[in-house]
Chain A
Amino acid sequence: EDQVTQSPEALRLQEGESSSLNCSYTVSGLRGLFWYRQDPGKGPEFLFTLYSAGEEKEKERLKATLTKKESFLHITAPKPEDSATYLCAVQTSTGNQFYFGTGTSLTVIP
């Protein structure tokens, strides 16, 4: 069964304290892995797509990496405005459906 698991469920960081969020997946064939940011009361906002193991993408303080079994979202020197829920999703090679994890709720304290 295709599955996506994110950890930790919640993370509190001091401003400037770097950390990583984890997304592990079990799918029959990976077409792509996606990271989203979701603010309260809003729809998920697309951040990154990763297609193959070893790939990395960066945007401001965020860097996403991919291995054959998991992805990491590294947050360097976070700011309070980085506070949000971060969602991971995978798309399989057999269809267009996305499988989402339950997210990591990140709080960055000034």
Chain B
Amino acid sequence: DAGITQSPRHKVTETGTPVTLRCHQTENHRYMYWYRQDPGHGLRLIHYSYGVKDTDKGEVSDGYSVSRSKTEDFLLTLESATSSQTSVYFCAITRGIWGNTEAFFGQGTRLTVV
């Protein structure tokens, strides 16, 4: 258990509304990630962070933004939710100063956009 908590665990929202998902970690790791998981695509990286206020894009970042104002919290925002963003979202951390270790995942947030 890497001390990762995601909230909410489930959410239904309407198209066009903004949505924020939260990832909280208790172990002070430098690197945090947001992935989405869809059938037939596996896990795909949305954004990641390598420190407070330091973030970078992943392969599917369009329509998403992130913020990290504290080491322990990494927020994912869908600026205007679309049906294509219906997915299961996972937060992850990697350990060490360079983050090049195995990833540990949270329990996921199931988001449905109607």
Contact = CB atoms under 8 A, between A and B. Distances in A.
A44 B100 contact: no
Most chain B CB within a 10 A radius of its CB, from A44, A45, A87? A44
Contacts of B100: 31-32, 91, 96
Interface in A26-46: 31-32, 34, 41-46
B102 to A, nearest CB: 5
A18 to B, nearest CB: 26
Contacts of B50: 96
Interface string A18-62: 000000000000011010000001111110010000000000000
B63 interface: no
A31 B103 CA distance: 13
Counting contact residues on chain A (CB < 8 A from B), the size range is 20 to 34
Given A42-B108, A44-B43, A34 B58 contact: no
B42 to A, nearest CB: 4
B48 A46 contact: no
A98 B107 contact: no
Interface string B70-97: 0000000000000000000010001000
Query: What are the nearest 3 A-B pairs in CB distance?
Result: A43-B105, A100-B42, A100-B43
